[in-house]
């Protein structure tokens, strides 16, 4: 199992800034991020309000990545599905692999995702975001997989080796590689139903009787990544050192709330990287 001093979740401006500053402080750092680190930055035709560097978004993003890679840093291009505190550090599950980190920096940005009605009510009661993590709980049962990313196909195929039946509901993604024994159901999910436990996935024109629903989006909701993380109006609560309510966990960038600006993200990332390094310097191994 690979171990790091600091794991950084998110490869946007805040995450890269945090990584660079933590690396300068001599820490072993690993960044986890998507194929496109900052879609908002990439799509910006011109950035006018970033001090000293009025550039196009794509050019600025390329400069960020060059600085990052020139320092010998890399991005692990797999989504982190869940994080668990071990008491002395944290375990991260990403694409079926487990990693260990002594400290964390959350730089997940903001998700534009709208939750399905009932989704939040049934997290842990039938709703999951990680097939590898929770699939064994559904051995011999019926599950639905709602796929907003191509990763959902691989996860559905894995779940088919465990569950008695798998429904696959693709949302504008290719699914040519889906296993033949998986039932593909066209339609748009509109809600998750049940009482004490999830029992149905509602589509616009039908309902599926299921024991579990697995939802795969680009970003795992931050409150599902790490339990007991304190939020305020959907943003992660942090202090001036970018520390959260969980010792050893820091956050930076858009995930900590407004204003959603590059300068704020880069600045908070720098503070978070330095704060995480200082936290580890004070912490006995």
pLDDT tops 80 at residue 63: yes
Q: Region 162-172: what's the mean pLDDT?
A: 96
User: Do 173 and 252 share a domain, yes or no?
Assistant: no
Q: Report in angstroms the alpha-carbon separations of 80 from 8, 226, 242, 281.
A: 10, 11, 21, 26
pLDDT tens profile 182-206: 999 999 999 999 998 999 999 999 9
Q: Residue 276 — pLDDT band, cuts 50, 70, 90?
A: very high
Q: Which of 257, 221, 225 is nearest to 111 (CA)?
A: 221
pLDDT score at 243: 98
Got the DSSP string for 9-45?
A: E--SHHHHHHHHHHHHTT--EEEE--SSS-HHHHT-S
250 and 17 Cβ atoms separated by less than 8 Å = no
| Total number of domains constituting the chain | 2
pLDDT score at 44: 80
Domain end (from 216, 239, 268): 216
User: Do 40 and 88 share a domain, yes or no?
Assistant: yes
User: Do 160 and 206 share a domain, yes or no?
Assistant: yes
CATH code: domain of residue 89: 3.50.50.60
Bridge partners (DSSP) listed for residue 165: 142
Length of the chain: 285
Distance between CA atoms of residues 223 and 94, nearest Å: 16
User: Do 212 and 269 share a domain, yes or no?
Assistant: no
Q: Which of 125, 127, 164, 122 is nearest to 145 (CA)?
A: 127
Parent domain of 140: 120-216
Domain end (from 192, 216, 240): 216
Domain end (from 193, 216, 239): 216
User: Do 211 and 235 share a domain, yes or no?
Assistant: no
pTM, entire model: 0.79
User: Do 104 and 185 share a domain, yes or no?
Assistant: no
User: Do 231 and 257 share a domain, yes or no?
Assistant: yes
Got the DSSP string for 45-61?
A: S-B-SSTT--B-HHHHH
User: Do 101 and 14 share a domain, yes or no?
Assistant: yes
pLDDT tens profile 69-92: 999 999 998 888 889 999 899 999
* Helix H or strand E encompassing 76: strand 75-76
* DSSP single-letter state for residue 255: G
User: Do 89 and 20 share a domain, yes or no?
Assistant: yes
User: Do 160 and 134 share a domain, yes or no?
Assistant: yes
pLDDT tens profile 200-226: 999 999 999 999 999 988 777 787 788
User: Do 190 and 55 share a domain, yes or no?
Assistant: no
* Helix H or strand E encompassing 83: strand 80-85
* DSSP single-letter state for residue 243: B
- As a whole number, the mean pLDDT across the chain is 92
User: Do 226 and 183 share a domain, yes or no?
Assistant: no
3 state SS for 159-207: HHCCCCEEEEEECCCCCCCCCCCCEECCCCEEEEEECCCEEEEEECCCE
pLDDT tops 70 at residue 137: yes
Question: Cα dihedral angle (106, 89, 213, 40), rounded to 10 degrees?
Answer: 10
The larger pLDDT score, comparing residue 93 to residue 20, is at 20
What residues contact 211, with CB distance under 8 A and at least 6 apart?
126, 138, 141, 142, 143, 198, 199
Distance of CA 136 to the CA centre of its chain: 22
194 and 126 Cβ atoms separated by less than 8 Å = yes
Q: Region 167-176: what's the mean pLDDT?
A: 93
Distance between CA atoms of residues 37 and 12, nearest Å: 5
DSSP β-ladder status, 97-106 and 80-85: unpaired
């Amino acid at each position: 199992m690979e171990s790091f001093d600091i794991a950084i979740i998110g490869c946007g401006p805040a995450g890269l800034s945090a990584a660079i500053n933590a690396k300068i402080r001599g820490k072993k750092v690993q960044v986890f991020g998507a194929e496109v680190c900052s879609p908002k930055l990439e799509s910006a035709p011109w950035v006018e309000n970033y001090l000293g560097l009025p550039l196009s978004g794509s050019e600025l993003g390329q400069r960020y990545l060059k600085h990052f890679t020139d320092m010998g840093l890399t991005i692990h291009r797999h989504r982190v599905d869940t994080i668990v505190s071990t008491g002395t550090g944290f375990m991260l599950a990403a694409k079926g692999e487990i990693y260990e980190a002594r400290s964390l920096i959350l730089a997940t940005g903001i998700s534009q995702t709208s939750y399905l009605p009932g989704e939040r009510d049934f997290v842990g009661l039938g709703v999951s975001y990680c097939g590898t993590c929770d699939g064994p709980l559904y051995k011999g049962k019926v599950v639905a997989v709602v796929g907003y990313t191509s990763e959902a196909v691989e996860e559905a195929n894995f779940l088919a080796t465990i569950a008695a039946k798998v429904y696959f509901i693709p949302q504008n993604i290719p699914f040519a590689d889906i296993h033949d024994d998986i039932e593909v159901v066209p339609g748009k999910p509109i809600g998750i139903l049940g009482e004490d436990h999830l029992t149905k996935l509602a589509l616009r024109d039908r309902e599926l009787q299921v024991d579990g629903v697995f939802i795969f989006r680009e970003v795992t909701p931050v409150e599902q990544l790490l339990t007991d993380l304190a939020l305020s109006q959907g943003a992660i609560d942090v202090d001036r050192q970018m520390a959260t309510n969980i010792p050893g966990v820091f956050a930076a960038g858009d995930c900590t709330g407004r204003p959603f600006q590059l300068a704020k993200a880069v600045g908070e990332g720098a503070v978070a990287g330095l704060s995480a390094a200082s936290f580890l310097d004070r912490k006995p191994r």
